[in-house]
Amino acid sequence: MQKKELIKRYVLFIISLFFAALGVAITKKGELGVSPISSVANVLSLRFPALSLGNWLIIWNCILIVGQIVILRRKFQWIQLLQVPLSFLFGWFTDFGMWLISWFTADTYPMRMLMVVIGTIVLGFGVSLAVIANVIMNSGEAFVKAVSDTIHVEFGNVKIGFDISCVILALVLSLLFFDFTIQGTREGTILAACCTGLVVKFFSHRLKTPLDSILTGCSNEEEPIS
């Protein structure tokens, strides 16, 4: 891969982080729960508001990076430490997204559900861009891959188990922190879990060819030089 193409791919990945973070922020605004991977950080931000959701996402992502190192040990590729600054960027983007939509108030249930739907679409769009960029995995997916490679179970099955585990942990923390009531993890979390993959598939199918031509510097009629 040429240096110019690599730079383009990292730029696209950073753009993908912005949209994914904005999707989390929009979903959060709906107050019906966020995506499974963000659910633990969301509960912690409700219990300890001195740190923003973005800051808790940074902490959570760094925990997942440490988890990869523990699981993979000598097999851990140090290039994956790029996940650390990218995790900070994702957290900052999330807080920036929260600021962007701070003026809006979703004061009815239909409006809150609409925010969840819009947030899930924006999140899925961002994830699809990251898939097309194909340079580095986010900390959540990298953690899932580390577990998958170690226990030799299909990635998709481990991802399902990971998402369920995140939701369970978020529920347990909510019960402990809020007098056995559920906060921050609701039907929006289930909707995001069920629909994000479909949105990613929708956008990836339509954006991959045109974006690949931009990334490789080839028109649709040209083939990239090996």
What span, in angstroms and rounded, lies between the C-alpha atoms of 205 and 7?
23
**How far is the C-alpha of 14 from the C-alpha of 96, rounded, in Å?**
14
For residue 225, pLDDT beyond 70: no
pLDDT level of residue 94 (50, 70, 90 thresholds): very high
pLDDT of residue 222: 44
User: Has residue 226 got a pLDDT over 80?
Assistant: no
pLDDT, average across residues 77-91: 93
Mean pLDDT of 86-109: 94
Confidence of residue 2 (pLDDT cuts 50, 70, 90): confident
Amino acid in position 65 = I
Q: Determine the average pLDDT of the residues in 74-79.
A: 90
Residue 58 has pLDDT above 50, yes or no: yes
Residue type, 121: I
Residue 218 has pLDDT above 70, yes or no: no
In this structure, which long-range contacts are made by residues 136-139, counting pairs with CB atoms below 8 Å and at least 24 apart in sequence?
136/13, 136/79, 136/80, 136/82, 136/83, 136/86, 137/80, 137/83, 138/17, 138/20, 138/61, 138/83, 138/86, 138/87, 138/90, 139/61, 139/62, 139/64, 139/65, 139/68, 139/83, 139/87
- Retrieve residue 86's tokens: 């990218």
